Structure 1
Amino acid sequence: MPLACKTEKIEIKPAHNHKESADRDRYDSYHPCTTISAYESKRWHSKYHHLISQNLGSLMILPVTGSTQAEAMCFFEDISIKHLNEYRPCESWRKTLMLFSQTVPSVRHAATALAMIHRKYLNRHSNDMVYEPYFLKDQLLDKTSLLHYNRAIQLLLNPESGDGAEITAITLLVSYLFTCFDHLVGDDVQAVKHLRGGVELSRSIDNSTMYSYTYHDAQPSGFHAIIGQVTKQIRRLDMQAGMFLVDWTPANIQEPFTSHLTLFHSTFWSLDQAADHLQILVSQVMWLRNTEQQSAPTTTMPPLPSSLKDMVLGQLETWSSLFEKLLRGNRSESVFETDRLISLLRLQHTIAWILLSSHGPGGEMDYDNFLPQFQQCVALASEVAAAHQRYAGSSRSTFTPEIGIIPILYIIGAKCRHPIVRHEVLGILRRQLIREASWDSITTARVVEQIIEIEEGVGGEGQTVQCMEQIPIWQRIEALSFTHVPRGQSAARLDIEYAFCGREGTHIESLAIERIESLTYHVKYSMTDSRL
């Protein structure tokens, strides 16, 4: 089953811990324990209440304090904003990020810190430079970016005034930017803490307001509109976290899909709305599979309750029919970003359907029955990857906090044992360095390579597997998890744990991480990722 990066238990720190940490260390060093807490957000105030009116009419552009910050803000507005929402571009959301980064100091400092790290990341992974594992955060962090990071926290913890809507909007925006920052430097535990805080705060947002903002013409104004925008982004990241965390349960995961459809008269009004509904379904599939694996991680999986499995499969079928109906009703001229989103949605729908449909008494052998669907997924992933190259530039590395194609390619490489399909997966992953939250395309390629080496080792030295049937069930990996161990007194490494079908016990490997001189070379470090 897919993907789950192991992390330590995530907790929201009490309010006094944040204050003590901020007061004690100020902002001259980086403090992973300092996290925005949703529970104290109502006590926060903003000293910029008078800068922004109810309808966001008159705004003051804050002066920059030096050439470094000015360059960072230009980079944030020209590059970072574009990459953060690469798979679901939204012009109004980009304008909101630009507006608040220009006018609200806490958001300005959070955006500056993110831009500095983002620019350094892209520079380090340009075509002619070495590839370094993204979770070696000491390679990216510097004093200036950390100063801005902690200054944003200071401004949130030491305010003067502000109303509830303004506080909520600013808190959610900074939480979102901090989530991006810590994912980018490889501190996934801290990133998830910030996401958790934003999710908890978003739970207080009225769902009817969210739906009104997202899909209806009568939209809320002022800070309520901003809250709707950023809450949508936070909830999207919340749903997607199940693609890399086994023990993550999204806030509204158990809300029935059918209840949402009744609100829209059993039709989709836009690709964006269809994408939101599909995200719920994909999260439900991942949650079902992950929950089941946690109860029986190294033994033959018991079947899902037929009623629950059939219900979600029915919802996937309903989504597909409504999606195709939407496309038939919108036959306007093709648009680049629209075409890419359509391919991505079809890819995500198909892989979710495979994961749920393949769960039967045959275990890992059942995946062999879905070769045509896997081949379709590879074709769709290739389309999305090609569009990604056109969007970002053929050689430029990219980062987004959103989940797109990398974990799906991992699932295909791990579950489809057809040698040609696996070769195509590796080709897509190696083509360009892509970061999606905790996922890294180059590392993921090596993960798939390692799985292939283990599963195809049954043939012996010098023998190659020609077809799926040559890999017996007892040689197939059923569950895999990994932990990133950053550089300490010894070299950084990946700790891997995996189990074979029908065989007791687990296998543990610890693999050192090495720098790689070219993205086209075989990666010298190893297996990662999740519960398969």
Structure 2
Amino acid sequence: MDGMKTKNKTANQAWRKKPRKFAPKSRLGCKTCKIRRVKCDLSQPSCLKCLSTGRTCDGYGAMPLACKTEQIEIKPTHNHNESADGDGYDGYLPCTTISAYEPKQWHSKDRCRISQNLGPLTVLPMTGSIQAEAMSFFEDISIKHLNEYRPCESWRKTLMLFSQTVPSVRHAATALAMIHRKYLDHHSNDRVYEPYFMKDKLLDKTSLLHYNRAIQLLLKPNSGDSAEITAVTLLVSYLFTCFDHLVGDDVQAVKHLRGGVELSRNIDNATIYDYACHDSQPSGFHAIIGQVTKQIRRLDMQAGMFLVDWSPANIEEQFTPHLILFDSAFGSLDQAADHLQSLVSQVMWLRNTEQQTSPMGTVPPLPSSLKGMVLGQLETWSSLFENLLQRGHRSESAFETDRLVSLLRLQHTIARILLSTCHGPGGEMDYDNFLPQFQQCVALACEVAAAHQRYAGSSMSTFTPEIGIIPILYIIGAKCRHHLVRREALGILRCQLIREASWDSIATASVVERVIEIEEGAGGEEQMVQCMEQIPIWERIEALSFIHVPRGQSAARLDIEYTFCGREGTHIESLVI
């Protein structure tokens, strides 16, 4: 009997020593199942696994995807317990050197060219399965959403390269990917959209470890090239801005953005605009600096859409006419978008300056020439833009081109309305003169919203640091008093599960609903006003602001502060989210 026990024990031990046999992994599953690491049933056109769980199936790749894994010797310099994932590692570690979601041709050609331009680079090993999964999600999903409205392949490749080779960028990207994935999974699984205050629910120890580790690496004394340090600092600043906007900490996000803007002030503008964000490859860290600075300055100019006291860097210099340098048309849609963004920031600066009062309670005078000059620049921009479209410029895909064209026309139209009503003699009544333009804006917003649903999936909640249509729909709902037009804008907000920097579609819709109730009365739809003239000037809201109060002992809410035209006093209300 003892011999049988010994024999069985020996057999069990021998079985334990045998290496596990792994079945070959399928490379044919849909993208969503690959990210979730679950078996795909390969149903066409959308797999049943995704549909049964309420997810949007991202489809199947058009070509086989390649993933190269090699053994790299690791000499750890820290204790195993110090890894952000909490996973230990031995002397050898399997390291994914290229993304499993990228075609093999990109890595065999373009990646080598970037490495040669930037000098010797070392691909960082993954410190555990959690980080590997987060980086795959970052490269396949997060980067796509960060450039929601103006996709740029070379910028995407830059983020991928630095997240694979620079430790501080790797940790910042990992932290962002973890929060982004939790954000999407929360809304997809629970089917409940909670627009703000995700910080307490989403932040966990692992993502904070990566976030803080990126800060520690940035603060370490670095003897590297100054251009390299600047490029890395700007990249981390950009990722941190996205991270804090996503979790609802807009104050911290603005601090990171302000830091990146201040750092970019010392960079020559020629470095920024000589590098066009197309598919050409960068050459060296100076080109990378120009690339990331362009992204940060874009967010800097867009911040005026949600911060009244925000003045973009060098805003005074932007009033110098630049469009006269063009003969008849822009060279690309991206070039047209950059110039329009500059004009929109000027419009918002003029309006915000108008709203600021002096200590005597009067509006400080603004040179009328500035308003006329910017209006003239908007007209010139429209002419150059339409000439570009007539030439049949199609460097981007038709889908991306159509969406960006609609968005640019939408932003241009609303900028003209806002500037034309600035310093107007009729005040809030002047908006009634732009009903055709507001109707055009709603139609354009519908086109952009439909394109977004095709881009991200109708049931998926998305986040982007870029400003797109949400503040524009808010302006339509608050300033256009036509009962049908403003409700069409409200309907688009209700259907869009999207967050653009500080602007959230559902929270913005709640504010617009309250504005309609205040201005049109509490009679409901049956007693809805039939024409704009039925809303007298003293019943119209002139200035409105709102802040988000996170959920504590009470429910999350929006605190609204507003004033009426020609009436003294400030009104404060709270809306429960």
- TM-score scaled by length of structure 2: 0.76
1:364-375 correspondence to structure 2 within 5 Å: 364-375=428-439
Change (3 A) 1:298 1:107: farther
Q: SS of the residue aligned with 2:527?
A: coil
2:122 match: secondary structure: coil
Distance 1:509 1:172, change over 3 A: same
Q: Does 1:324 align with 2:386?
A: yes
Q: Matched residue pairs, number?
A: 465
Counterpart of 1:61 in structure 2 is: 123
> Is 1:427 paired with 2:491?
yes
Q: Whole-Å Cα distance in 2 between the matches of residues 298 and 448 of structure 1?
A: 32
Residues 388-440 of structure 1: per-residue CA shift (max 9 Å, x gap): 00000111110000100000000000000111111211111111201100011
Residue equivalent to 1:471: 535
- Give runs of aligned pairs for residues 195-344 of structure 1, distance below 5 A: 195-214=257-276, 221-256=283-318, 259-265=321-327, 267-295=329-357, 305-330=367-392, 332=394, 335-344=398-407
Deviation at 1:309, TM superposition (A): 1.3
CA separation of 1:409/1:145 partners in 2, compared to 1, >3 Å: closer, same or farther?
Answer: same
Larger radius of gyration, structure 1 or 2?
2
Q: 2:214 is matched by which residue type in structure 1?
A: A
- Distance in 1 between residues matched to 2:83 and 2:553, nearest whole Å: 26
- How big is the shift at 1:487? 2.8
1:386 maps to what in 2?
Answer: 450
Change in 2 beyond 3 A, CA 1:53/1:123: closer
Stretches of structure 2 lacking an aligned partner (at least 5 in a row): 1-81, 85-113
Which residue in 2 is equivalent to 1:347? 410
Between 304-313 and 356-365, report the one with greater CA deviation. Answer: 304-313
1:430-454 residue CA offsets vs partner (Å, 9 max, x unmatched): 1120110001111111111000000
The answer for the alignment partner of 2:461 in structure 1 is 397
Distance 1:463 1:127, change over 3 A: farther
Distance 1:127 1:477, change over 3 A: farther
The sequence identity of aligned pairs, in percent, is 85
What is the alpha-carbon distance in structure 2 between the residues aligned to residue 437 and residue 172 of structure 1? 18
Distance 1:297 1:142 in 2: 46
1:496 corresponds to 2:496: no
In the alignment, structure 1 residue 188 sits paired with structure 2 residue 250: yes
Counterpart position of 2:472: 408
How do residues 9-48 of structure 1 correspond to structure 2 at under 5 angstroms?
none
Cα shift at 1:134: 1.9
Deviates more, 1:205-214 or 1:191-200: 205-214
CA offset at residue 457 of structure 1?
0.9
* One-letter code aligned to 1:364: E
Give the residue type in structure 1 aligned to 2:380: T
Superimposed CA distance per residue, residues 86-109 of structure 1 (whole angstroms, 9 cap, x where no aligned partner): 100000000000000011110000
Match of 2:419 among 356, 364, 380: 356
Q: Which ranges of 4 or more aligned residues in structure 1 deviate by more than 6 Å?
A: 215-220, 296-303, 458-461
Which of 125, 132, 141 matches 1:70? 132
Determine if contact 2:234/2:292 at 8 Å carries over to the other structure.
Answer: yes
Q: Tell me: CA distance 1:509–1:130, structure 2 relative to 1, closer, same or farther (3 Å).
A: same
Q: Does 1:506 align with 2:570?
A: yes
Look up the equivalent residue of 1:465 and give its one-letter code.
Answer: V
Q: Secondary structure at the match of 2:445?
A: helix
**Partner Cα distance (2:83, 2:530) in 1:** 58
Q: Residues 263, 221 of structure 1: CA spacing in aligned structure 2 closer, same or farther, 3 A cutoff?
A: farther
CA shift for structure 1 position 458: 7.4
Among 167, 170, 173, the residue aligned to 1:105: 167
Shift of 1:127: 6.7
- Describe the shift of the 1:172–1:504 C-alpha distance in structure 2 as closer, same or farther (beyond 3 A): same
1:155 aligns with 2:217: yes
Secondary structure, counterpart of 1:268 in structure 2: coil
Distance in 2 between residues matched to 1:90 and 1:216, nearest whole Å: 7
Closer, same or farther in 2 for the Cα pair 1:94/1:425, shift >3 Å? same
Counterpart of 1:390 in structure 2: which amino acid?
Answer: R
> 2-side partners of 1:298 and 1:361: how far apart?
21
- Which gives a bigger RCO, structure 1 or 2 (Cα 8 Å, sep 6+)? 1
Please say if residues 301 and 363 of structure 1, whose CA atoms lie closer than 8 Å, have aligned partners that are also in contact.
no
Structure 1, unaligned runs of 5 or more: 1-25, 29-51, 513-524, 526-532
Q: In the alignment, what sits opposite 2:509?
A: 445
Deviations 1:45-101 (A, max 9, x none): xxxxxxx97712543221111111111000000100000001000000000000000
Shift of 1:214: 2.3
* Secondary structure in structure 2 of the residue aligned to 1:312: helix
More displaced stretch, 190-199 vs 462-471: 462-471
| 8 Å contact kept, 1:459–1:465 | no
Please say if residues 127 and 395 of structure 1, whose CA atoms lie closer than 8 Å, have aligned partners that are also in contact.
no
Deviation at 1:170, TM superposition (A): 0.2
The Cα shift of 1:327 comes to 1.1
CA displacement at 1:383 relative to structure 2: 0.3
What RMSD, in angstroms, separates the aligned Cα atoms of the two structures? 2.6
TM-score (norm 1): 0.83
Tell me which of 154, 167, 186 is aligned to 1:124: 186
8 Å CA contact retained: 1:298, 1:499: no
8 Å contact from structure 2 (residues 318, 346) kept in 1: no
C-alpha separation in 2, matches of 1:328 and 1:423 = 34
